[in-house]
Structure 1
Amino acid sequence: MRQRTQNEAPPRRSTLGIEDYLARLGDRVRAARARRGMSRKILARDSGVSERYLAQLESGRGNPSVAVLHQIADAMDMSVMELADPHGGTDPALAEILSLLSPLDGGELAEAARLLEQRFAGSSTRGNRIALIGLRGAGKTTLGRALAEKLGVPFIELNRVIEQDYGASIGELLSLSGQPAFRRYENRCLNQILTDYEEAVISTGGGIVANPETYTMLLRRAHTIWLQASPEEHMQRVVEQGDMRPMEQNREAMTDLRAILEARAPLYDRAEANVDTAGETLETSLTKLTETARGLIG
């Protein structure tokens, strides 16, 4: 039998019973879906796994095969290993880091990410670029356009750039090609914007935080601000804009919205700053946003 060297970490062994493991797997699938803003119906369509089985899996009552996990992971642009075991297949040192990070809450994780970036990621060039993140209805377009005018810089909507590049709407892109294709376009278009513009206000899609590579690029190359509001205000603003999609054939729209916000909040919290627009007038929100942006770009 091979002897373990002094500095070699012992092999990791799962202490979870099968019921606990399946419950946690269900939680990971549900959280990954929420971060991407995908309803269970959309995930079923894109993965080819029935909506009924996905419901069982997310409740901890499913016992999926590797093939089924692959279908689900692929539909969400993830690896099977990432979905099935967040620590699986990693270097022992990385596994130890993940173990240390796992008890931290969202704010603590954001601080840990900033410390790691400062220590190991090298210099970043954010220039005078301001990127707005947050759920739909946060005011990213309305406030972003007004902020750009105040600062005298271009205003760019990432989703509009994606549509121009693809040649059709975001809805058609997702319907015809799925989440993986959308995330590739999102990454490529954002990189082009950050390369072409030294100063700009950039409005991003609500789910950009679910794409680790793209979100990391955004955090490193732009000053990010999380526009926050209550779930009720998010929903009300979207409907007032004439977009009834959140309500169509979805009696649990508000429940879904709360789940998405809960899943994404720790990721949104990695932004350099946040501006809470809950209960505020447009003028007050713009004033707060302008002051915050100017503070970031100096």
Structure 2
Amino acid sequence: MANRTGSRPGADETDAKADAKAGVAKTGEAEGGEPEADFLTVLGQRVRTMRAVRAMSRKMLSQTSGLSERYIAQLESGQGNVSIILLRRVALAMGVRLEDLIAAVESPPDWPVVRDLLEKAGPDQIAEAKRVLSGSAAPGDAPTQRVALIGLRGAGKSTLGRILAERLGWTFVELNREIERENGLSVAEIFAIYGQETYRRLEQGALRRLAERPGPMVLATGGGIVAEPVTFDLLLSAFFTVWLKARPEEHIQRVREQAAKGIAPTRMPDSDNALREIRGILVSREPLYARARAVIDTADHTVAETAAELTGLVESYLGTGA
């Protein structure tokens, strides 16, 4: 690959313009404030460090990646808002992973080794590693007296959870109500003021504390708990998890009925868009919901019928059924 870094007068200026067209913008021109500038500074430091570790000069990295030395200098000094495509070229040229350059926090020194071992590990080894890291009970221990219900809005988690807890004589907890109690704000207010990222962090913290709370429990979760891998894995490891499954049309109808009774916080729009949105969410979440230990299809079943099936399922899991 040709050297583009100084073989002709004005080459740097020409290459800088070409790189800018390919996706580089001056930091001062980019939208955003200090957090973005800090990110670019850290990114530049990582590129510079990884290049030095590999004993690559800027000229060598330029030749290997096909990008100008000026662009690389700009990147390393935190002055350029790089496009993901160009950053991928830099990562490939240095033989590193793109995710290592843009990670939110510095990884521990042993992380590359752990990651490589996990990539080669089988399902049983991965399950054992997760168990050890999470501090979960070893396989073969007595069934946990903790049941969590998952599924989309309108699945019946709260209704069926209360019935199940009453029949078993257990405590019933709604995760969203627990988050509201701990923070003195409604879930809607948390989303509006702090955003989804903060809500997910509060959700994980509340779930972790519930998992450590003594005594049997039935937990009704929010529909999006599967969106955060660590939180969902904690749920799966600490609770006997049941997916309450229904058709999209049933989810919408149940939420509308709840809204009419003043139970649901928001009303479901009366439009075809709402149905398409529910279908899309369900399709994307189905592989995650399917990781539950058990599934109960509530379609075309009454609350009484589903409650009886759920109670029998849990009693069978606990070994207390007839």
* TM-score class, shorter: 0.5 to 0.7
Deviations 1:19-45 (A, max 9, x none): xxxxxxxxxxxxxxxxxxxxxxxxxxx
| Matched residue SS, 1:155 | strand
Hey, what's the Cα distance between the residues in 1 that align with 2:218 and 2:282?
Answer: 23
Q: Tell me the equivalent position of 2:268.
A: 246
| 2:253 alignment partner in structure 1 | 236
Normalising by structure 1, report the TM-score: 0.62
Contact 1:133/1:205 (CA < 8 Å) preserved in 2?
A: yes
Q: Aligned AA for 2:267? A: R
Greater RCO (CA < 8 Å, at least 6 residues apart): 1
1:66 deviation in Å? 5.7
Match of 1:278 in 2: 299
Distance 1:256 1:119, change over 3 A: same
Aligned to 1:124: 136
**Structure 1: which amino acid aligns with 2:127?**
E
Name the SS of the counterpart of 1:252 in structure 2: helix
Unaligned runs of 5+ in 2: 1-80, 86-97, 138-142
Deviations 1:175-208 (A, max 9, x none): 1000111011101111111111331000000000
- What residue in structure 2 maps to residue 261 of structure 1? 282
Mapped to 2, the partners of 1:127 and 1:265 lie a distance apart of 25
Equivalence for 2:316 = 295
Q: CA deviation at 1:292?
A: 1.2
RMSD: 3.2
Query: How far is the alpha carbon of 1:94 from its aligned partner?
Result: 4.7
> Which residue type is aligned with residue 261 of structure 1?
L
The one-letter code sitting in structure 2 at the alignment partner of 1:121 is: R
Structure 1 position 168, deviation (Å): 1.3
Question: Deviation of residue 275 (structure 1)?
Answer: 0.7
- TM-score for the superposition, normalised by structure 2: 0.57
Residues 128/254 of structure 1: CA separation in 2 closer, same or farther (3 Å cut):
same
Sequence identity percentage: 39
Q: Please say if residues 118 and 126 of structure 2, whose CA atoms lie closer than 8 Å, have aligned partners that are also in contact.
A: no
Which residue of 213, 221, 232 maps to 1:204?
221
Matches for 1:1-298 after TM superposition, within 5 Å: 81=99, 91=112, 94=115, 112=123, 116-118=126-128, 121-122=131-132, 124-125=136-137, 127-242=144-259, 243=264, 245-247=267-269, 252-298=273-319
Q: Report the CA distance between 1:238 and its aligned residue.
A: 0.4
Instruction: Point out where structure 1 has 5 or more consecutive residues left out of the alignment.
Output: 1-64, 70-79, 102-111
The structure number with the bigger radius of gyration is 2
List per-residue Cα deviations over 1:88-124 (Å, max 9, x = no partner): x9959857976999xxxxxxxxxx5x77325762473
Q: Which amino acid aligns with 1:135?
A: L
